[in-house]
């Protein structure tokens, strides 16, 4: 559909929270929405593996430029693990092997969780999308290559045991971007003398976006369906202080001029979300030590 013939005045500019179902890739979801609103751009913030379900944020129109900001939002997961087995992918997608020894007790698992809270070092599974010398690790692994996975720092805010009926363990995890939940379950199990594979993963929240309020792809068949499901970008930028600017100041921002904030507003941080008087996102500004300059401007925003 050519949106230039669409008489609805609001531009397609916002965040679409989709409840992805297992079996679909994140790219599949992007492509389905893209076909409905072409030539409007569509991207996503935070890949979900095909085995996983739950919140996938799609960025519509100019909002694709906010991808890095949405990656910074904290995430919440519920994950099922089977203890006493292992696999190279740390889930059920590759061959599984029995791990010798007794299964850990609930108390022993609880006693080690504190070690995984905060900023920790994590080694992703070799079957992952991590780039190794310009190639995805999973492609190298499938080709039989010897893959040395580098460790990385990730942030874990909370881990809660929801259920444990040996060998089945369900965890609720709140974390920062880049965390591999299957690797977390594997590492917790190894810490108590066992091993684990992830059997199910649901992303229940990304920032303010919850699975219960997300849309199934079946409900997003037309441009109007998609428009009705959009969330205005400021709702997803809670990490950026919002500042309402006058049309005169926004015109200077549009022209790339540096500006000062009205009333000498006290701002924490060096980036802000610049809104018009109606509360719509018009720009992201950065502080150069004296004044604010344009990092992104959204001329298409209403």
Which residues form the catalytic set? 49
Nearest CA among 25, 53, 17, 18 for reference residue 200: 53
Q: Nearest CA to 294 among 276, 273, 277?
A: 273
Residues 6 or more apart in contact with residue 292 via CB below 8 angstroms? 258, 259, 260, 261, 272, 285, 286
Phi, psi of 158 (to 5 degrees): -160, 140
53-60 vs 75-83, strand pairing mode: unpaired
DSSP per residue, 239-286 = TS-EEE--HHHHHHHHTT--B--GGG---SSSEEEEE-TTS-EEEEEE
Sort 143 into a burial class: Cβ within 10 Å, 0-12 / 13-18 / 19+: exposed
* CA distances for 176 relative to 179, 221, 259, angstroms: 7, 32, 33
Q: Is 67 helix (H, G, I), strand (E, B) or coil?
A: helix
DSSP, res 38:
T
Helix/strand/coil for 191: helix
Task: Assess whether the previous peptide bond of 80 is cis (omega < 30° from 0).
Answer: no
165 CB contacts (<8 Å, ≥6 apart)?
A: none
Alpha helices in 48-129 (DSSP H): 67-71, 106-112
């Amino acid at each position: 559909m050519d949106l230039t013939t669409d008489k609805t005045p609001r531009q397609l500019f916002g965040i679409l929270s989709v409840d992805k179902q297992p079996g679909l890739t994140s790219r599949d979801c992007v492509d389905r929405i893209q076909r409905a609103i072409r030539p409007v751009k569509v991207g996503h913030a935070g890949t979900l593996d095909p085995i996983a379900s739950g919140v996938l944020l799609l960025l519509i129109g100019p909002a694709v430029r906010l991808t890095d900001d949405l990656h910074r939002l904290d995430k919440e997961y519920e994950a099922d693990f089977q203890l006493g087995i292992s696999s190279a992918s740390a889930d059920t997608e590759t061959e599984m092997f029995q791990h010798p020894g007794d299964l850990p007790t609930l108390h022993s698992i609880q006693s080690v969780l504190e070690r995984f809270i905060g900023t920790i070092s994590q080694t992703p599974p070799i079957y992952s999308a991590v780039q190794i010398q310009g190639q995805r690790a999973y492609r190298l692994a499938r080709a039989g290559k010897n893959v040395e996975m580098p460790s990385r720092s990730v942030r874990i805010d909370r881990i809660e045991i929801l259920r444990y009926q040996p060998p089945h363990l369900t965890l609720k995890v709140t974390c920062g971007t880049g965390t591999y939940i299957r690797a977390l379950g594997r590492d917790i199990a190894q810490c108590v003398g066992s091993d684990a594979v992830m059997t199910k993963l649901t992303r229940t929240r990304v920032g303010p976006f919850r699975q219960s309020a997300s849309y199934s792809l079946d409900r997003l068949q037309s441009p109007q369906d998609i428009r009705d499901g959009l969330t205005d970008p400021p709702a997803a930028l809670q990490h950026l202080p919002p500042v309402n600017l006058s049309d005169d100041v926004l015109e200077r921002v549009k022209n790339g001029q540096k500006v000062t904030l009205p009333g000498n507003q006290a701002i924490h941080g060096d980036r802000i979300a610049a809104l018009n008087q109606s509360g719509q996102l018009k720009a992201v500004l950065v502080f150069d030590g004296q004044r604010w300059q344009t990092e992104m401007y959204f001329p298409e925003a209403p």
